[in-house]
A and B are shown apart, each in its own frame.
Chain A
Amino acid sequence: EADIYQTPRYLVIGTGKKITLECSQTMGHDKMYWYQQDPGMELHLIHYSYGVNSTEKGDLSSESTVSRIRTEHFPLTLESARPSHTSQYLCASSDLANTGELFFGEGSRLTVL
C-alpha cells in the first residue's frame, strides 16, 4: 500500500477564499507531483518537485503555488479560489531514479461556488 495522504478529500468553499491542499508521504521519495484532473478526463501536471526547496511549474498553467520545505510534505495553495478552480487535485510521489512508479494519494475534490 502507498503511504501518501491527501487532505481534505472533499472541500466546498466560496469564491475568494484561500485554501491549502495538503499532501504528505512517508516513503522518503524525493520527487513529488500535483496533477489536476476533471472527472473522466486526462491528468494535467501543474507542479512538481525533485527535492527540498525545489519546485517547478508543470505544463498546465495554474494560479496555485506549492512549497517543499520538508521531503515528506508538498502542500498546494490557492490564494483566491474561483469557480474555474473546481476540479480534482491528485498528489503523487516517486523515487529519484525517474523510472520508479508514481504513488498517488486519494485526491482532493475541490468545488468553488
Chain B
Amino acid sequence: GQQVMQIPQYQHVQEGEDFTTYCNSSTTLSNIQWYKQRPGGHPVFLIQLVKSGEVKKQKRLTFQFGEAKKNSSLHITATQTTDVGTYFCAGPNFNKFYFGSGTKLNVKP
C-alpha cells in the first residue's frame, strides 16, 4: 500500500531559527495537503498543493511540491512559540487519505 514518510520525527529549535520538514511518498500523488496538530488538539488544514513544482507561501510558511509529485516540504522562517505542534503531510489514494508520520516541532523561547 501507499506509504508517506516524514523526516525528521522531532525537531527542537530556538525561537527565531528556521525549521523544515520533508515528506516522501512511495507513489505519485495527485495532490498533497499539510496539517498542523497542536498538543492535545486535532489536525487543522494548512494548505493544498496540486501542481508539479508548485510553491505556496503563507506568511512565514513556505510549501513546495516536488517535480515528480512524490515529495513535499514545509519550511518555517523565524519560528515562534506559537508554531509548536506536529506537522503532517497527507495525500489521497482513491477514496483513502494517508497521513505522513508527522514531525513534532518544539520551539524554545
Contact = CB atoms under 8 A, between A and B. Distances in A.
Contacts of B102: 41-42
A108 B94 CA distance: 26
Interface residues of A, number: 25
A45 B48 CA distance: 20
Interface residues of B, number: 26
B89 to A, nearest CB: 11
Contacts of B50: 99
A66 to B, nearest CB: 14
Contacts of A48: 95-97
Contact of B43 (A98, A99, A102): A102
Given A45-B96, A59-B96, 14 more contacts: A42-B101, A42-B102, A43-B99, A45-B98, A45-B99, A56-B95, A58-B96, A59-B98, A90-B42, A98-B30, A99-B31, A99-B50, A106-B42, A107-B42
13 contacts: A42-B102, A45-B96, A45-B97, A45-B99, A48-B95, A48-B96, A94-B97, A99-B48, A102-B35, A102-B45, A102-B90, A105-B42, A106-B41
Interface of A: 31, 33, 35, 40-43, 45, 48, 50, 56, 58-59, 90, 92, 94, 98-99, 101-107
